[in-house]
A and B are shown apart, each in its own frame.
Chain A
Amino acid sequence: MILGLGFAVLVYLILFFYVFGLSPMVTGSSQAKWVEMELSLEPKFSDTEICKECHYQLYIGMKNHSKVSCEACHGSGVEHTIKRTSDTIVKDRTRDFCLNCHLDVGGRDAVKTVNETHHPGIYCVVCHDPHK
C-alpha cells in the first residue's frame, strides 16, 4: 500500500513540476521560437520607396494621388520587384476599379466622388490620368 501511495505521489510531483515549471509553454521557449518563426515570414507588399527607384518619373509627377501608396491600387509588389514583368502587377483600368473609392456613397467626405450620371459607361482613365 505504501509502495502504491509513493508511486502516486511521485507521478503527481512529476506532473506538477512539468505543468507549472518545466513545460515549454510555461518557460516561454515555445513562444520565443514562434516569434522567430513570425519574423522569418517574407513580406508580400513592398514600399513606395522601392517603386520610386524604377518609376521615378511617375512618382514626381503625381499630384492628386501623391499620398496614396503605389500598392494600394497596384496590389502586392514584391513579386514584381523580382521578375519586373507587367503581368506580375495589377493594372486595372476599368470604371468599377476607380469607383471602388470614388463612387458617391454616403460617408465619403475625404475623397472627391462622382455618381453614375457622370459620363456613364466610359472608363475614367480616358479623361483623368491617375498619375497626375
Chain B
Amino acid sequence: MNRRNFLKLIAGFLPAVALVRGQNAGESHKSYVMVVDVNKCIGCGKCVVACKVENDVPMDFKLSRTWIEGYAVKEKIPIEESDVKKEVLSTSKNPFLDKSWIETTRGRKTFYVPKLCNHCANAPCVNVCPVYARFYTKDGVVLLDKETCIGCKYCIVACPYGATFTHPEQKVTDKCTFCYHRIKRGLKPACVLACPTGARVFGDVNDENSEVSRLVKENRVAVLKPEWGTFPRVLYIGLDSYVVE
C-alpha cells in the first residue's frame, strides 16, 4: 500500500467516526442531583435505616452508605477543638436521643448534616481503581461493579468524603448508588422517600420543571470540599462550611 492509498483509507474512515460521535452528542441524558436542606434535617435516622434495608447493608455495622453527622457548635467563631462537638448516626441506634447529646446541645448551635456518596463528576475513586470496577453511567451516577472489584481499598483511601467502605459480608467495597434500580423505575431513592421533613430532594437538573432545578435556582447551594475539584452531585442548602469537614 502506497501513501496515497493509505491516506484515502483514512479519509474514508473519518466521516464514519464523525457520524457516530454526532449521534452520541445528540442524545440528551438526565443529570441526577440530590439537594440536601441542612435546615430541615432533624437527625431522626430514618434515611439510614431505609438505606440499609433497601440495599442489604447489615444494620448493626458501624459503616453505612448514608449517615448523619450532628454538630454542636459554641456560638462564636470556633477556635479550639472543644468548641465543636460531633456525633455520627450510622446504625439503627440513634445517638442524638441520648441524654449526653441533649446536654451537649444546650446553649449551642446544633445542626445535622446527612452525608452520602457525592457522585462526583471527577471522581477520585474512579480515577484510582486499578481494575476499572468504578465507572460513570450516562446520567452521571458513579457505580461500582462488584464482580470486577478485587477489594484493594484504593478507593477508600482516595475518597475525600469517606463515602465508601468494605462490605462486611461481600468482602468488596460498597457505596451509595443513588438507588439506581429505583430511580430507573421512576421511584425516589430510599433515603429521600423515608425522610419525614423533606430535607433530601432528588431529581434531574436538566429538567426545567423538576423540584431540584427550582431549589438550585432559588437557593445558594454549596458542596463539600470544593477545593478537591471533584464537582459533587450532592448539593447542600444552608451548609455551615466553616464547621463541616
Contact = CB atoms under 8 A, between A and B. Distances in A.
B193 A69 contact: yes
B97 A106 contact: no
Contacts, number: 120
A104 B143 CA distance: 39
Contact of B54 (A25, A44, A47): A44
A99 B131 contact: no
A26 to B, nearest CB: 7
Contact of B72 (A30, A45, A106, A111): A106
Contacts of B235: none
Contacts of B39: 109-110
B135 A31 contact: yes
B46 interface: yes
Band of interface residues on A:
35 or more
B187 interface: yes
Given A68-B196, A71-B194, A72-B196, A107 B145 contact: no
11 contacts: A31-B132, A34-B147, A44-B53, A44-B54, A72-B50, A72-B195, A72-B196, A73-B196, A100-B45, A103-B102, A111-B42
When A and B form their complex, which 9 residue pairs have the shortest distance between CB atoms, in order from nearest? A106-B105, A107-B110, A106-B110, A25-B132, A41-B181, A34-B145, A68-B196, A108-B42, A101-B44
